[in-house]
Structure 1
Amino acid sequence: MKTTIIGLDEQKTEKLTISLNGLLSNFQVYYQSLRGLHWNIKGKSFFELHVKFEEFYTDSQEKIDSIAERILTLGGKPLHTFADYSENAKVPVGKDITNDVEAVSLVVKSLSELLKIERTILDESDEANDEGTNSMMSDFIAEQEKTIWMLSSWLN
């Protein structure tokens, strides 16, 4: 078995970097949707949601950087063009959303899609004995599950 400089199976690591680039693409699209929600939200929930969406996009920006750095740590190359992101993303795109319920619903749908991807990566990183990626995905999943619960409570 050929290993990477950090001692992981090279083949399994290559598979992980592809999956992580998919997650990176989805987070970039999600991030941009959050910026749009932050800028365009209107109505009685404006003050509450304007701040919340900024919190979410700031957090996403940090996650984007962590994902890209993890790809580099594994010996891969992070995707970095909007064309790549659009081609690889599965999260819904939010465009011209001003309504609070529609905006929060978009975030819930996006986080649900991110969770699916992260759980797949969690399985792959476990199989590759990659504790670094495994830990990152576990942290992302726990945080996003809680956020979905809170936003779903807001919607109801």
Structure 2
Amino acid sequence: MTREVRAFAVTVLTLATLGAAAGLLWSGLTPRAPYEVTQHGTVLADPSTQALIAADGWFAVITGGLGLLCGGVGWFIGRRWMLAVLLGLCAGGVLGAMLTLWVGSTFTIGAVVIEAAAQPGAKVVPGALRLTASGVLVSWPLLAVGLFALMEGMHGYRESPLRHPYADPPDPL
């Protein structure tokens, strides 16, 4: 029982660490939406900007790629503790995605360039990263668990007697 708990904990902590690094990567790659500072607060300077959609897309690509990587590595390494690693991929994927969102929206990495057609004299500032499609938060755990299950299903079928249902009948005694 102790080894299973250790495998679960190592999997969750590894994915959480990757989540923090993925947040920095997301912050560095994603363009910022331009906001105009007005007397009523900040408003979106360019309503036709694609930066809000790009933030969701980059988040899905980064966390989805990490989900596939973690699912494959988890299946190869955690063959002895399948259930613990699988549950760790699920919980760690959720934690990693949440950490990616928090780190990416809290820290700004790299140069922030904004381009917007603003009124003369208006102050335009870059907006903070945020997700507009919250469904991309499940891309990491979904792809990690999905690839893990697919690989285990293929491996189990390859070694199954059901693969050859009409094999040679046993020798009669």
TM-score with structure 1 length normalisation?
A: 0.31
Q: Comparing both chains, which one has the higher relative contact order based on Cα–Cα distances under 8 Å and sequence gaps of 6 or more?
A: 2
Whichever structure has more helix as a proportion of its residues is: 1
